[in-house]
Structure 1
Amino acid sequence: MLSGGALGALVLGMVAAALWRRGWPRHAALGLGPAPHFSDDLEAAIAEIWDWVAEPIIFGTIGASINFSALPAGVAARAALIVLTGLAVRVIATFLTMYGQEGRAGDHPYSFRSRLFFAVAWTPKATVQAVLSGTPLHLVKILKSGAPDYDQWLQWGHEIQTTGVICILICATLGTLLVQVFGPKLLDEAPKAEEERECLTALAAKADSDALL
């Protein structure tokens, strides 16, 4: 049910954007005519609401739900180990995935430093954890209430939620710090406009000379 709701929200957004570009609905009182940029404008407005209202509420709520002083011994350490293991696998997988991929049109494949930055830039991920980490505990309270093993399920739900919060603390803070520190060191400065024009002129001249041969 939860997955179906999320999938429905994604499909609804894609269908609405496609219909707006085509001018649907065509009813005079409801339609705006073809509006190719309407979905982009709406996305920008929703992004502002997300950044200033929804996101602080989500992260604040999930953070306030954990009392680290009341956690059983070893739960936080196990959660951190799980997060760091998954993070290491994701960094390695991202680095290997970008191997041999083409950059911008006409560029060579990404350099070692660029691939390393891609791997680092994928570290600060926390929104999904903030939204979903409390779902198992919520379902346990609904579906397992009164069951003989309710306390065990409740403990597992708390541990999953704790893992999600620790994932936020590690990925969001550490990831953002890594991007800020290593970004200027790993990424090459974009060429200036004049240099780009000179490069394009040289490439065009070479192409013309090759065509004459």
Structure 2
Amino acid sequence: MDTDDTTELPNCCIKKVRNWNLPPHIGRWTTRIVVAFLIWAALWSIVGKDALPGGNLYSLSVLLGLSALAGFMVRIIPKLKLPSLLGMLITGFMLKNVKGIDVAKDIDNNWSLTLRNVALVVILLRSGLGLDQKALKRAKWTISRLALLPCTAEAITVAIMGYLLLDMGFKWSFQLGFLIAAVSPAVVVPSLLELQEKGFGIDQGIPTLGIAAASLENVFSISLVGVFLGIAFSEGNLAYNIFRGPIEIIIGISIGVFVGPVLWIIPCNEKGSAPQKNRFVLLCSLGLLSLFGLRRAHFSGAGALGSLALSFVASLQWSKRDKQQIGAALSIVWDFFMPLLFSLIGAEVNVEYMESQLIGRGIGILIVGLIPRLSVVYLVLLRNNLSRKEKIFVVLSWIPKATVQAAIGSITLDAARDKGLHGKYQEKHGIQILTLSVLSILITAPIGAIAMTTTGQKLLKKSEMISQSNTEQIEKIELTNDIGYV
């Protein structure tokens, strides 16, 4: 009898607990707050002071939590359909520059750069899995022109304007030009992947066109910045600096061609085994090695292109199930890194360097530079089989800047200070270049992201080949979007 009583009581309690649930939104955010607190508490128990106010990990935790919340709040604003990254950018900017809440000033610069690069690897690996082989072959010449011509047109325009308005020599103004001219994969690619998952633009290969061209343009821009930086400070062999761009492109593609097939062979697909987990770990490790390893070898652009090419080549011989599962795993990782990436980019903006006269001229330079850039994008697409609406969408997707500008915007200033040129014209030009890089992020990243988000489904055609299973997946993606994820 005693045994029966003690057995019935827990069962009764269990039934009551099972029947008691919080409302969905409250339960979801309660869970997230509890998880965030426990992660912070665990970090504090391990590292101590660094997880307390004023510490690096504390500042990163606050930045991550508030930027994720801001991204959710921005996205649920009715009718506007603003991208979540806008809230994240603004949060990072405020936490760096508003006194009293400027916790981002305590974040270590090396940590910030490393986390931004890890996030870039994640989005490039996702991009590689999403590339369409047939569309890539069909549009290879368009991709090349789209990567090189608009960037060159904007860089030359900005360089001339910098020479005239900022009293820069051409070896400095061309650093500014090619730095400003790089489109941001971190802004463009997530928007394109989201549209691709919903079936928009697939038949015309627009996501593949944008992803591949954006990555190639970044390699080109970073390489040319390095060329003019070397000329300005008379570093390295001039011939090597000039041919640096093609060398980095060859290295990046070679990583995909020679390392990608390794993931066809290993891990072995034995009976009863699940190779997806091992492939996910290998792919992420090789992607990180490509970016950070080649960065140490002073081939930054090659590392980014290598991560993209690696993921694309590796997935060519994978089953559809493998690609879907690995892509889903990368999507979960991206959910964590997205708030970090954009809030850290926003935190790179330092108002201390912003002089009113420089800001006014800088805005003028950026606007004038965009005119030939966007005009050339449209001209490049004239001979394609895209409709006028689709061409307009591609033009809009070539507006946002953030990734390269945040990653190497300070490279000229750092080089000048490393050489002890404080108070010299080299340091002055470095500050000017950094300030305009920051302005380009503040102005173009939100405008470009909003333009892509609000016009994508209106300007692009939805694929007629989407099956019912894909439609169900799309509904899940839309539900996930509503609760604050990508």
Alpha-carbon distance in 1 for matches of 2:453, 2:255: 36
Aligned partner letter, 2:388: F
Residue 365 of structure 2 is aligned to residue 82 of structure 1: yes
- Residue 199 of structure 1 aligns with which residue? none
- Residue 99 of structure 1 aligns with which residue? 382
Following TM superposition, by how much is the alpha carbon of 1:97 offset from its aligned partner in structure 2, in angstroms? Answer: 0.8
What SS does the aligned partner of 1:116 have?
A: helix
Higher share in helix = 2
Alpha-carbon distance in 2 for matches of 1:93, 1:174: 19
Taking structure 1 as reference, are residues 48 and 161 closer, same or farther at Cα in structure 2, changes over 3 Å only? farther
Alpha-carbon distance in 1 for matches of 2:404, 2:414: 16
Taking structure 1 as reference, are residues 57 and 156 closer, same or farther at Cα in structure 2, changes over 3 Å only? farther
Report if the CA contact (8 A) 1:62-1:165 is conserved.
Answer: no
Aligned partner letter, 2:366: V
In structure 1, stretches of 5+ residues that fail to align are 27-31, 102-108, 195-213
Taking structure 1 as reference, are residues 175 and 141 closer, same or farther at Cα in structure 2, changes over 3 Å only? same
Alpha-carbon distance in 1 for matches of 2:350, 2:329: 35
Residue 336 of structure 2 is aligned to residue 52 of structure 1: yes
Alpha-carbon distance in 2 for matches of 1:13, 1:192: 29
Residue 258 of structure 2 is aligned to residue 15 of structure 1: yes
TM-score, scaled to structure 1: 0.62
What SS does the aligned partner of 2:356 have?
A: coil
Aligned partner letter, 1:37: W
CA deviations 1:56-82 (Å, max 9, x no partner) are 555444543443255223111222222
Taking structure 1 as reference, are residues 193 and 160 closer, same or farther at Cα in structure 2, changes over 3 Å only? closer
In structure 2, stretches of 5+ residues that fail to align are 1-221, 224-243, 269-278, 280-313, 468-486
Alpha-carbon distance in 1 for matches of 2:391, 2:430: 37
Q: What value does the CA root-mean-square deviation take over the aligned residues?
A: 3.9
Taking structure 1 as reference, are residues 137 and 48 closer, same or farther at Cα in structure 2, changes over 3 Å only? farther
Alpha-carbon distance in 1 for matches of 2:416, 2:390: 44
Residue 446 of structure 2 is aligned to residue 165 of structure 1: no
- Residue 406 of structure 2 aligns with which residue? 130
Following TM superposition, by how much is the alpha carbon of 1:119 offset from its aligned partner in structure 2, in angstroms? Answer: 0.7
Report if the CA contact (8 A) 2:348-2:406 is conserved.
Answer: no
CA deviations 1:74-132 (Å, max 9, x no partner) are 1112222222222222211111111121xxxxxxx222222112111222232122212
What SS does the aligned partner of 2:371 have?
A: helix
- Residue 415 of structure 2 aligns with which residue? 139
Taking structure 1 as reference, are residues 14 and 124 closer, same or farther at Cα in structure 2, changes over 3 Å only? farther
- Residue 177 of structure 1 aligns with which residue? 450
Taking structure 1 as reference, are residues 61 and 9 closer, same or farther at Cα in structure 2, changes over 3 Å only? farther
Aligned partner letter, 2:263: W
- Residue 73 of structure 1 aligns with which residue? 356
Greater RCO, 1 or 2 (C-alpha within 8 Å, sep 6+): 2
Taking structure 1 as reference, are residues 190 and 57 closer, same or farther at Cα in structure 2, changes over 3 Å only? closer
- Residue 115 of structure 1 aligns with which residue? 391
Alpha-carbon distance in 2 for matches of 1:156, 1:117: 35
What SS does the aligned partner of 1:74 have?
A: helix
Aligned partner letter, 2:367: L
Taking structure 1 as reference, are residues 133 and 56 closer, same or farther at Cα in structure 2, changes over 3 Å only? farther
Following TM superposition, by how much is the alpha carbon of 1:20 offset from its aligned partner in structure 2, in angstroms? Answer: 2.7
Following TM superposition, by how much is the alpha carbon of 1:159 offset from its aligned partner in structure 2, in angstroms? Answer: 1.6
Report if the CA contact (8 A) 2:348-2:438 is conserved.
Answer: no
Alpha-carbon distance in 2 for matches of 1:47, 1:138: 34
